[in-house]
Structure 1
Amino acid sequence: MLRWSTQIHKWLALVVGLQVLGWVLGGLVMTAIPIETVRSEHHVASFQPAALPTDGLLSAAQAAQAAGVEPVEATLRTTLRGTIWSLKAADGKVRVVDAATGRPITPMGEAEARQLAGALYEGDGRPVAVRWFDEAPQETGREGPLWRVDFDDAERTSFYLSPETGEIASRRSNLWRFYDFFWRVHILDFKSGDDFNHPVLVAAAALTLPMVVTGLILLVIRLRRDWRGFRAQRAVRSRS
């Protein structure tokens, strides 16, 4: 038992030892840093949406007809850029139109993106860079164009804004990227960071199980051996 347990434990530790270390480090990071801090929730200013106007707005059917969309979902809401209809088509694409006219909302420019991001931000940072993306970066988890506004706070916070509504689509920071790295190590998905059911992770977990079991067996054997040695020493001392 001792010989087999030692061999199995040794070779499995060589194979999955680094991943076990990654799991432990990742678990430490994910439990030590509050998720609210990772999401930069403390850098979002409180915003009270304006009340919806009671008249002068198109119905969902009128807005859809004006936009030339057959929506499967229609949402009326107020934003920092006015009241809008958000019309989601069957293919998942969303058309944003003015709730009063049905016309598409004109995407905001760089100056307005900087201004709105500053209004939505809370903290000591200042907007120092504004960048346009025709396609949202992978780290946002979004699709389509976005404005990115960077702040010079300690975490290097970035707000990704919808060009139509001015709303925050995603919040990212160096702290979030640090956390995300260990999350990807934890689930062994360095491509999308979303898949924790893939074969590599399952195999690593399956190999780790016998390593832990054999480690416990070796621990029990060692403790029993030490206990017998301790009792033998006590017996010798009691006779002398």
Structure 2
Amino acid sequence: MTARRTLRRLHLWLAWIAGVPILFWMVSGLWMVARPIEEVRGTALRAPAAALVLPSRLTPPVGARALTLEMQAARPVWIATLTDGAIVRADATTGRSLPGPDEGEARMLANAARIAPPAITGVTRTTAAAPPLELRRPRPAWQVRFADETHVYIDAQSGAVLALRTAQWRWFDWMWGLHIMDLGGREDTHHALLIGFAALALAGTIVGLVLLPLSVRRRRPRG
């Protein structure tokens, strides 16, 4: 009786301590699996890549170690990664470097990245040193916000589309941060708080399984 009483108390305390994070895990996990991932990613909102119109002569920029060719504002441009790691764009015909897009061009590129885009409600320039949490990339960018609460990020140097973030994506991201108990960065799945509560939940489950057969009373046979 003493051992069973001790196990019951231990199980109760473990349940109280680990109960709140378990509830968070279940709620956040249910929310994430209940949302179609295509809806979260905004797959239906993305316009297909524009068909490349190649000039008669292609001239790669000098000093590039990686090149991607794409259409921007109805003209072919190189997206070049230089030897120092910088990412720039260049004219596909001459190979000359092009300046990064200004706000007006960022609006145009963001509109071109979407199917039937709604009105743009605002544009903000962000820096590589302090990128928005939803971007997850240390790149200078233009954040273009639409009336449906979708954000499109245009690289401020290369003009490439870095990300499309829907309102559902931001909710999904917040739930993911809650699930792994990292609402700050939402990427750390190996930290003491998460490991500690997971260990407590496991211990509570084990104690509950030990208690289960001890709590089942055998019925006396009727005489």
Deviations 1:79-99 (A, max 9, x none): 224333333345533232223
Report the TM-score, using the length of structure 1 for normalisation.
0.79
Does residue 14 in structure 1 map to residue 16 in structure 2?
A: yes
Counterpart amino acid of 2:71?
T
Contact 1:76 1:83 in 2 (8 A): no
Contact 1:76 1:99 in 2 (8 A): no
- Report the 3-state secondary structure (helix = DSSP H, G, I; strand = E; otherwise coil) of the residue aligned with 1:131: strand
Report the TM-score, using the length of structure 2 for normalisation.
0.84
Contact 2:50 2:71 in 1 (8 A): no
Residue 37 of structure 1 corresponds to 39
Counterpart amino acid of 2:136?
G
Does residue 163 in structure 1 map to residue 164 in structure 2?
A: no
Identity over aligned pairs, percent: 33
Residue 173 of structure 2 corresponds to 180
> Per-residue deviation at 1:45?
1.8
Question: Quick one: which of 118, 126, 131 aligns to 1:125?
Answer: 118
Does residue 94 in structure 1 map to residue 96 in structure 2?
A: no
Matches of 2:147 and 2:78, distance apart in 1? 34
Residue 108 of structure 1 corresponds to 101
Contact 1:79 1:167 in 2 (8 A): no
Matches of 2:142 and 2:51, distance apart in 1? 21
Structure of higher CA gyration radius: 1
Contact 1:9 1:215 in 2 (8 A): yes
- Report the 3-state secondary structure (helix = DSSP H, G, I; strand = E; otherwise coil) of the residue aligned with 1:194: coil
Counterpart amino acid of 1:33?
R
Residue 50 of structure 1 corresponds to 52
Does residue 76 in structure 1 map to residue 68 in structure 2?
A: yes
Q: CA RMSD in A?
A: 2.4
Matches of 1:123 and 1:217, distance apart in 2? 59
- Report the 3-state secondary structure (helix = DSSP H, G, I; strand = E; otherwise coil) of the residue aligned with 1:161: strand
Deviations 1:22-56 (A, max 9, x none): 11111101100122211112211223331443x32
Deviations 1:118-159 (A, max 9, x none): 232225732222222233323201122211111112xx1111
Deviations 1:55-103 (A, max 9, x none): 32224xxx22xxxx4x4x3113122243333333455332322232232
Distance change (3 Å), C-alpha of 1:3 and 1:90: farther
Question: Quick one: which of 144, 149, 156 aligns to 1:149?
Answer: 144
Structure 1 window deviating more from structure 2 (144-153 vs 22-31): it is 144-153
Gaps of 5+ in 1: none
Gaps of 5+ in 2: none
Contact 1:117 1:149 in 2 (8 A): yes
- Report the 3-state secondary structure (helix = DSSP H, G, I; strand = E; otherwise coil) of the residue aligned with 2:10: helix
Contact 1:79 1:165 in 2 (8 A): no
Pick the structure with more helix per residue: 1
